[in-house]
């Protein structure tokens, strides 16, 4: 198999996958080193394919399907963060990423790709181990989420549910 064929197989596997695939798993399936897969993914990304690198592996960017919107949220506790994320996934949304504004660097963004309570629980456990890494800690809990939703109506439902729970950020007038 040549490099172009290998990249085609990687793209096919990512398209079919229900969960992120690690470079090690892909390398094992293809009979190449992990570094070869990392290079292939870099070339696929450079060619315009939207592939996200998550802590659990590579996946196609979920915002490529359905409706994408951004919400400004705020929370100050882990329980509120869990409630915020559960609210999104329970309504059929995917929390694609989190972003904050930083006075030195501008916008800082982290990929999340949380699509289920299982994903949220895994993220909450990781956050408990490294709470200093949460981007929202830099901004007093204020942050943006890109959401991927099946329809605009689902996005509006999520927005209304977060608003009802007091988890949407509203600039004080």
- 61 labeled binding residue: no
Is 122 annotated to bind ligand? no
**Cβ–Cβ under 8 Å, residues 99 and 109:** yes
Q: Looking at the DSSP assignment, which residues form a beta bridge with residue 97? A: 111, 146
Q: Flag whether 145 is marked binding.
A: yes
- The response to whether 101 counts as a known ligand-binding position is no
Tell me the three state secondary structure of residue 20. coil
- SS3 label, residue 147: strand
Q: Give the pairing of strands 106-114 and 67-74.
A: unpaired
Query: How many C-beta neighbours within 10 Å does residue 22 have?
Result: 15
β-pair partners for 59: 52
Distances (CA, A) of 147 to 27, 28, 38: 31, 33, 27
Q: How far apart are CA 35 and CA 53, in angstroms?
A: 14
Decide: helix, strand or coil at residue 73. Answer: strand
The whole-angstrom distance between residue 166's C-alpha and the CA centroid of its chain comes to: 23
What residues form the annotated binding site for Ni(2+)?
75, 84, 143, 145
- Where is the binding site, in residues? 75, 84, 143, 145
């Amino acid at each position: 198999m040549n490099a172009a064929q290998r990249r085609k197989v990687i793209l096919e596997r990512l398209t079919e996958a229900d969960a992120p695939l690690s470079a090690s798993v892909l390398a094992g399936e293809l009979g190449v080193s992990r570094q070869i897969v990392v290079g292939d993914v870099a070339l696929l990304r450079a060619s315009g394919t939207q592939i996200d690198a998550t802590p659990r592996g590579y996946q196609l960017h979920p915002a490529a399907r359905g409706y994408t919107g951004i919400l400004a949220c705020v929370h100050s506790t882990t329980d509120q963060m869990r409630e915020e994320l559960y609210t999104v996934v329970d309504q059929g949304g995917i929390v694609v990423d989190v972003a904050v504004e930083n006075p030195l660097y501008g916008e800082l963004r982290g990929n999340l790709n949380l699509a289920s309570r299982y994903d949220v629980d895994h993220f909450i456990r990781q956050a408990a181990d490294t709470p200093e890494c949460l981007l929202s800690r830099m901004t007093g809990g204020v942050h943006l989420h890109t959401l991927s939703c099946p329809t605009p109506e689902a996005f509006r439902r999520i927005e209304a549910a977060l608003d009802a729970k007091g988890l949407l950020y509203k600039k004080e007038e």
